[in-house]
């Protein structure tokens, strides 16, 4: 998957462990009211664990910073209730790249209490994990309160290394493209499956966009441009072959196979046109 991908044009659909349907998409400026309502829906403890304070509402400046993000150095995704026409927010995951070390990004999550322990946190982390890998982030860092044992135990079960630095309790989770390298714990396996699901959904949307573009546009390429496109297609074709070899997720494998067939046909046509 290339770094130019993952700009998902449509929300990604997921089902929580209790059957609840949710939609995940990047945070937009118009989500400001959803974020404000979401904070109000958090319990005292959840607000304290997320913001290190029991503040009942966020300032206008803080809301603006949390809703107006560039999705490159500050990446934020929101989970919406798919069953409600107004799509209220159920949770948010975000990371902000370190100015001192751009390969490290600080991650944070908030899920309203009524939807905790249903797998939404894992799905949000999976999305951030995929986004981080695409942007060259190698470490997702969580800074938490020592009494937040649920999150600290969760991240440690994912293989995160913990440390005390300048009075902060840090958990550093390494980002690797191959989800199979995650620890073989229940948490690690759940995250691995969620990561593969995110990758499959994004690839499926990319394939649909490509088909729509081919149906609506007729491109005339120079020989040099055809050669460049050939190299890009060949690179993605080889990436998919590698993923097919490693993945154990049946649904993800089926998606990869369909994409493999499409790319194989395109690759043959380009090779014929370019003599490559």
pLDDT tens digit string along 207-258?
665 555 555 544 456 777 778 778 888 888 888 888 888 887 776 777 778 7
Q: Which residues pair with 23 in a beta bridge?
A: 13, 80
- pLDDT, average across residues 158-171: 90
- How many of the other CB atoms lie within 10 Å of CB of 182? 22
What is the 3-state composition of the chain as percent helix, strand, coil, each rounded to the nearest 5? 50, 20, 30
Three-state SS for 34? helix
Does 272 score more than 70 pLDDT?
yes
Residue 112 near residue 42, CB atoms below 8 Å: yes
pLDDT the model gives residue 4: 40
HSE-CB for 149 with a 13 A CA cutoff:
1
Does 8 score more than 90 pLDDT?
no
Beta strands in the chain (DSSP E): 12-15, 21-26, 74-81, 89-97, 104-111, 139-144, 161-165, 168-174
Spatial CA neighbour of 27 closest among 78, 95, 63? 78
Give residue-wise pLDDT tens across range 9-19: 689 999 999 99
pLDDT the model gives residue 78: 98
Q: Is 53 buried (19+), middle (13-18) or exposed (0-12) by CB count in 10 A? A: exposed
The band of 181, judged by pLDDT with boundaries at 50, 70 and 90, is: confident
Does 131 score more than 90 pLDDT?
yes
pLDDT the model gives residue 243: 84
Least confident range from 10-14, 26-30, 35-39: namely: 10-14
Spatial CA neighbour of 91 closest among 105, 76, 106? 76
Strands 139-144 and 104-111: parallel
**Residue 252 contacts by C-beta under 8 Å, 6 or more apart in sequence?**
196, 197, 199, 200
Measure the CA–CA gap between 182 and 200, rounded to whole angstroms: 18
Does 126 score more than 50 pLDDT?
yes
- pLDDT, average across residues 104-122: 97
Q: What pTM, to 2 d.p., does this model score?
A: 0.74
Name the more confident of 142 and 231.
Answer: 142
The phi-psi region of residue 275 (left if phi > 0; otherwise alpha if psi is between -120 and 50; otherwise beta) is: left
């Amino acid at each position: 998957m290339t770094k130019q991908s993952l700009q998902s044009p449509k929300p990604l659909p997921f089902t929580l462990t209790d059957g609840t349907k949710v939609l995940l998409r990047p945070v937009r400026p118009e989500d400001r009211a959803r974020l404000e309502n979401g904070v109000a829906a958090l319990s005292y403890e959840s607000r304290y664990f997320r913001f290190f304070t029991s503040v009942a509402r966020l300032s206008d400046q803080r809301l603006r910073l949390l809703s107006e993000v560039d999705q490159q150095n500050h990446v934020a995704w929101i989970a919406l209730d798919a069953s409600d026409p107004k799509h209220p927010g159920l949770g948010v995951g975000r990371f902000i790249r370190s100015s001192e070390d751009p390969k490290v990004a600080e991650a944070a999550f908030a899920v309203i209490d009524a939807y905790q322990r249903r797998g939404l946190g894992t799905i949000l982390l999976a999305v951030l994990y995929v986004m981080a890998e695409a942007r060259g982030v190698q470490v997702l860092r969580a800074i938490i309160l020592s009494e937040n044992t649920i999150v600290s135990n969760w991240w440690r079960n994912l293989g995160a290394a913990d440390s005390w630095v300048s009075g902060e309790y840090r958990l550093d989770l390494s980002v690797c493209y191959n989800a199979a390298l995650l620890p073989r714990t229940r948490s690690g396996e759940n995250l691995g499956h969620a990561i593969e699901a995110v990758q499959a959904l994004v690839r499926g949307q990319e394939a649909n966009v490509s088909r729509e573009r081919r149906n609506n546009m007729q491109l005339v390429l120079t020989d040099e441009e055809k050669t460049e496109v050939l190299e890009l297609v060949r690179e993605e074709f080889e990436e998919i072959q590698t993923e097919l070899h490693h993945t154990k997720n049946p649904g993800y494998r089926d998606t990869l196979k369909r994409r493999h067939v499409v790319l194989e046909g395109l690759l043959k046509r380009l090779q014929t046109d370019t003599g490559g």
